[in-house]
C-alpha cells in the first residue's frame, strides 16, 4: 500500500469540496497514508467567455488533470462524472464511481417559484445545450442566455445580469450547502439529466494496481450499473456537450431502467424512449437504446447538428 497519495483537482469551490471529500474518505480508511491535493487549471477553467459547445465540449475539464496522472505528478483525479468523456486516454481508467447524490437539475430564481410561473419571454441562464433544448421544448417562448463560470459565479450572475432564472445541477448546490437556493427541482419529464450527473468519478492510471485496490471501497455498485448504461448510450450516439442529449439510469435491486432523449438545439425535434433490463446488461442496454432512438429520428437530428 502506498504511503502517499496526491489527488489532482480543479481549483473551483465545488471541485475542491469534491476532492477534499474523497481525501477525507481515504484518510479515514487508511489512517497511515498521507493524502494531499494538487490544484490544476484546465482549459475549461481558462476560457470563460465562449459557450462550451463552441470550444469542444467534453474533456475541457479533464485533459490537464489526465496529463498530470500520466506523467506521474498525481496519483488520482476527482471529477464530476458528467464532465468525463466516454472514452478515456490510453493508460487511464475509472477506478471508482461514488454513490449518486441527486441527478436532478435545479431552477434557481429570485422572483419565480417554478418554470411554469415564468412570464412570456423570460431570460434563463445555462451553459448546457441539453438544458437549453429541453427548456425550449417545454417553453419555446423562453430566451436562453449562455452562462459560464463556477457555481458561485453563476449564482452571482443571476442578479448582476438581470436573469429571471438559471439552471444548475442539484448535486453541486447540495454539496456546497446551498440547497436553500433551489427554487424548483425540474421534473425529469421536463429535463432529463446529463450522463453521470450527481456522481463523482475517481480516475487513475490503469497499471497502478496499488491505487486501484485502495480506491475500490469508494465504488457504489448501483450507481456504477446505472452510469455504465448512460455512458454506453452517449458513446453510441457520439454526443458530447455539443449535442442535446439527456439520459438517466435507475438501478433497483437487480433491475435497471434507462430513459433518454435526443433533441434539436431549438427543442422542436425530439426523440425520447425507455429500456429495461438487468445490471449485467447495462452496457448493451445503453447501446440498444441509442440505436433504437437513432433509427427513430435521432440520426436526422444529429445530422442537422453537424451541418
* Residues 122, 238 share a domain: no
For 182, list phi and psi in degrees, rounded to 5. -70, 120
| Residue 63 maps to a domain | yes
The predicted model scores a pTM of 0.91
| Residue 5 maps to a domain | yes
Of 83 and 210, the structure prediction assigns the larger pLDDT to: 210
**Which of 47-56, 139-148, 162-171 has the lowest average pLDDT?**
47-56
**pLDDT score of 55:** 47
* Residues 169, 33 share a domain: no
| Residue 74 maps to a domain | yes
Question: What is the per-residue DSSP string for 234-269?
Answer: HHHHT--TTS-EEEEEEE-SSEEEEEEEEE-TTS-S
Q: Give me 163's grid cell.
A: 436573469
| Residue 120 maps to a domain | yes
Residue 150 pLDDT grade (very low, low, confident, very high; cuts 50, 70, 90): confident
Would you call 83 a catalytic residue per the annotation?
Answer: yes
Q: Number of folded domains in the chain? A: 3
* Residues 291, 263 share a domain: yes
* Residues 90, 213 share a domain: yes
Half-sphere exposure in the Cβ direction for 82 (13 Å, CA): 27
Say whether pLDDT at 237 is over 80. Answer: yes
Q: Strand, helix or coil at 152? A: helix
Unique residue bearing C-alpha cell 475539464? 61
pLDDT, tens only, 55-109: 455 566 788 999 999 999 999 999 999 988 888 999 999 999 999 999 999 999 9
Say whether pLDDT at 6 is over 60. Answer: yes
* Helices first, then strands: H and E counts in the chain: 10, 13
Three-point CA angle 118, 121, 123, nearest 5°: 75
Of 1 and 242, the structure prediction assigns the larger pLDDT to: 1
* Residues 119, 95 share a domain: no
Q: Which residue in 83, 102, 164, 208 is the catalytic one?
A: 83
* Residues 60, 138 share a domain: no
Say whether pLDDT at 41 is over 80. Answer: yes
Tell me what the mean pLDDT of segment 228-244 comes to.
Answer: 85
CA–CA distance, 230 with 262 (Å, rounded to integer): 13
* Residues 273, 134 share a domain: no
* Residues 155, 8 share a domain: no
Of 83 and 265, the structure prediction assigns the larger pLDDT to: 265
**pLDDT score of 62:** 85
* Residues 227, 181 share a domain: no
| Residue 191 maps to a domain | no
Say whether pLDDT at 49 is over 60. Answer: no
| Residue 139 maps to a domain | yes
Of 306 and 12, the structure prediction assigns the larger pLDDT to: 12
* Residues 295, 241 share a domain: yes
* Residues 152, 300 share a domain: no
Strand partners, 276: 257
**pLDDT score of 52:** 53
**pLDDT score of 238:** 80
Tell me what the mean pLDDT of segment 283-304 comes to.
Answer: 95
* Residues 204, 74 share a domain: yes
For the domain that residue 226 is a member of, what is the CATH number? 3.30.160.40
| Residue 144 maps to a domain | yes
**pLDDT score of 243:** 82
CA distances from 182 to 14, 44, 130, 139, 178 (A): 16, 25, 19, 20, 8
Give the Cβ contact number of residue 34 at 10 Å. Answer: 11
Unique residue bearing C-alpha cell 455539443? 242
For the domain that residue 7 is a member of, what is the CATH number? 3.40.190.10
Residue 186 pLDDT grade (very low, low, confident, very high; cuts 50, 70, 90): very high
Host domain of residue 163: 105-185
CA–CA distance, 172 with 82 (Å, rounded to integer): 12
| Residue 238 maps to a domain | yes
Amino acid at each position: 500500500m502506498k504511503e502517499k497519495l496526491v489527488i489532482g483537482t480543479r481549483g473551483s469551490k465545488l471541485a475542491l469540496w469534491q476532492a477534499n471529500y474523497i481525501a477525507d474518505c481515504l484518510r479515514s480508511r487508511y489512517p497511515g497514508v498521507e493524502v494531499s491535493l494538487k490544484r490544476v487549471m484546465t482549459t475549461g477553467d481558462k476560457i470563460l467567455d465562449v459557450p462550451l459547445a463552441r470550444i469542444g465540449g467534453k474533456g475541457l475539464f479533464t485533459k490537464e488533470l489526465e496529463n498530470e496522472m500520466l506523467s506521474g505528478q498525481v496519483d488520482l483525479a476527482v471529477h464530476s462524472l458528467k464532465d468525463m468523456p466516454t472514452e478515456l486516454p490510453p493508460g487511464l481508467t475509472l477506478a471508482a464511481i461514488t454513490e449518486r447524490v441527486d441527478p436532478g437539475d435545479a431552477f434557481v430564481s429570485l422572483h419565480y417559484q417554478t418554470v411554469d410561473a415564468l412570464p412570456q419571454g423570460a431570460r434563463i441562464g445555462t451553459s448546457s445545450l441539453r438544458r437549453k433544448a429541453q427548456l425550449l421544448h417545454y417553453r419555446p417562448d423562453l430566451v436562453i442566455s449562455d452562462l459560464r463560470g463556477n457555481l458561485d459565479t453563476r449564482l452571482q450572475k443571476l442578479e448582476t445580469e438581470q436573469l429571471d432564472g438559471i439552471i444548475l445541477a442539484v448535486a453541486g448546490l447540495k454539496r456546497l450547502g446551498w440547497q436553500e437556493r433551489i427554487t424548483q427541482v425540474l421534473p425529469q419529464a421536463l429535463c432529463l439529466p446529463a450522463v453521470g450527473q450527481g456522481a463523482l468519478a475517481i480516475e487513475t492510471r490503469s497499471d497502478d494496481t496499488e491505487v486501484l485496490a485502495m480506491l475500490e471501497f469508494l465504488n457504489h455498485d448501483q450507481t456504477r450499473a446505472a452510469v455504465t448504461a448512460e455512458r454506453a448510450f452517449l458513446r453510441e450516439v457520439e454526443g458530447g456537450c455539443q449535442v442535446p442529449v439527456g439520459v438517466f439510469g435507475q438501478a433497483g435491486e437487480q433491475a435497471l431502467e434507462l430513459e433518454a432523449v435526443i433533441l434539436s438545439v431549438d427543442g422542436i425535434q425530439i426523440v425520447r424512449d425507455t429500456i429495461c433490463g438487468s445490471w449485467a446488461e447495462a452496457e448493451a442496454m445503453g447501446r440498444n437504446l441509442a440505436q433504437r432512438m437513432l433509427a427513430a429520428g435521432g440520426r436526422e437530428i444529429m445530422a442537422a447538428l453537424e451541418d
